[in-house]
Amino acid sequence: MGDIALLDLRLRRRLTLGYMLGMAAYTAVVIALYPTFKDAHGLDALVQDSGAVAALFGATDPLTSPAGWLGANLYGNFLPLLTLMATIGYGATAIAGQNEEGTLALVASLPVRRARIAMAKLAALAVQALPVPVATAACIVAGRGLDLNLGAAQLWGATAGVVGLGLVFGALALLLGALTGSRGVALGVTTGAAAVSYLVNSLAPLIDWLEPGRYFSPFFYAVGDHQLRDGQSPAWLAVLGGAALVLAGAAVIAFRRLDVR
């Protein structure tokens, strides 16, 4: 099982490294710019005056605060986006993509139960969810000398939420790939679901009838409840973990029934 996971990770190592280094470079720029804007209180007024636009970009707290700055420039948008690109991309490829390429048949022909193969794919998915969020958080820790001081509990709690978010949608892509055998379907449907989830979480505070829908959005449990300001709720992490486990279990069952070509 470990060899299967390692092979998948090796095949994606350059892409994963590119995501991680790109996000680290962007994070460094965000950190370096904060001292310039931390006293620009006009930015806070801008957020208040343009609530809908600010919400779409993940700006929910004052931009001059460390939590607001990181939320608007990283945790509310770009960090989840790159994490989802890594996990959804792998989830759609791990079963459906390899089935379309014909390489999955070689793996399935090994004297290993399909459930163990699926679990190896899930283990690789869990690893895929880590590099981008962890590298981002490490850069923020390294940049504390530039007045961007955020509590360790808030930082790593929000980072754990992003990892959980990646696992949920990555597992969904894996499940859809196992159900349909189509990488395009898995990638398209999961990406669409993530986009809808993001919009619901962002706009729910501004639209009354959309407010209950927030609790169906994984983004809310990951980064949408002021996690950078107030800290992450263990209950919210449990929701993300539970959803990922349910989807992962369903993916294992679906893979056992997939007609591998």
In angstroms, rounded to a whole number, what is the distance separating the alpha carbons of residues 69 and 171?
30
DSSP character at residue 216: G
Q: How confident is the model at residue 120 (pLDDT cuts 50, 70, 90)?
A: very high
- b/e map of 124-150 (b: 16 or more CB within 10 Å)? bbbbbbbbbbebbbebbeebeeeebeb
Q: How confident is the model at residue 8 (pLDDT cuts 50, 70, 90)?
A: very high
pLDDT for residue 46: 67
What one-character-per-residue DSSP string does 52-109 give? HHHHHTT--S-TTSHHHHHIIIIITTHHHHHHHHHHHHHHHIIIIIHHHHTHHHHHHT
Question: Residue 238: left (phi > 0), alpha (psi -120 to 50), or beta?
Answer: alpha
Residue 261 has pLDDT above 80, yes or no: no
Instruction: For residue 102, give both structure tokens.
Output: 């014909």
What one-character-per-residue DSSP string does 122-186 give? HHHHHHHTSHHHHHHHHHHHHTGGGT----HHHHHHHHHHHHHHHHHHHHHHHHHHHHH--HHHH
Q: In angstroms, what CA-CA distances link 91 with 16, 110, 172, 213?
A: 14, 21, 8, 25
In angstroms, rounded to a whole number, what is the distance separating the alpha carbons of residues 27 and 78?
10
What one-character-per-residue DSSP string does 146-160 give? GT----HHHHHHHHH
pLDDT for residue 49: 61
Share of the chain above pLDDT 90, in %: 73
The position carrying tokens 């390294």 is 142
Instruction: For residue 144, give both structure tokens.
Output: 């504390």
- What are 20-70's pLDDT values in tens digits? 999 999 999 999 999 988 877 777 676 666 656 666 666 677 788 899 899
- What are 174-203's pLDDT values in tens digits? 999 999 999 999 999 999 999 999 999 988
pLDDT for residue 51: 59
Instruction: For residue 94, give both structure tokens.
Output: 């791990």
